[in-house]
Amino acid sequence: MELIKGHEIPQASLAIVDALNQAVAETTVTTMLAQNFHWNVTGMAFGPLHDLFQRIYEDHFEGQDDLAERIKAIGGHAQGTLSGMVARSKVEEHEGEATDREMIAAMAIAQETLAETLIGACDIASEKNDKLTEDLCIGRAREHEKFAWMLKSHLA
Ligand SMILES: [Fe+2]
């Protein structure tokens, strides 16, 4: 049986796959960071911060899955080990012992780092004319910039 020909999946490019794996790694590390802060945050703003960190890790859990599945759709290998993700991530792990303001600042930096990584991935996808990866990365970067704004608004 012949495969139905229609939309052509772009040729897997090592540069795109690598950029997406970088984004998966940093999104996964930030997912854990948000859950860590969701558990350990203290202070008078406990309720809303507990909820905001939950909203972040729920968003990121879906985000990392979408990015990894895009790697598979273009024929690449999704790197799925935690040790490998932590090793390559520009977002760093955190012990979870900090004031609420320090947690907000650390999470804002993580969101800005993620936005930057995704915009870089978007540029690579654009060079290769991979519009669907580009669109995915634009959407993810937009979410991270929104979270960065929400977090930094607490510190104004
Ligand atoms: Fe919870």
For the chain, counts of helices (H) and of strands (E)? 5, 0
CA gap 17, 77 in Å, rounded: 8
Find the 39 Cα to ligand 1 centroid distance in Å: 7
Find the 74 Cα to ligand 1 centroid distance in Å: 35
Kindly report the pTM of this predicted structure. Answer: 0.93
Return mean pLDDT, the chain: 94
**pLDDT, tens digit (0-9, with 9 covering 90-100), for 32-48:** 999 999 999 999 999 99
Find the 72 Cα to ligand 1 centroid distance in Å: 31
User: Which helix (H) or strand (E) is 141 found in, with range?
Assistant: helix 131-153
pLDDT of residue 5: 61
Give me the CATH topology for the region 14-153. Ferritin (1.20.1260)
Phi, psi of 9 (to 5 degrees): -75, 130
| Region label for 31, one of left (φ > 0), alpha (ψ between -120 and 50) or beta (otherwise) | alpha
**pLDDT, tens digit (0-9, with 9 covering 90-100), for 76-110:** 999 999 999 999 999 999 999 999 999 999 999 99
| Region label for 34, one of left (φ > 0), alpha (ψ between -120 and 50) or beta (otherwise) | alpha
Find the 56 Cα to ligand 1 centroid distance in Å: 12
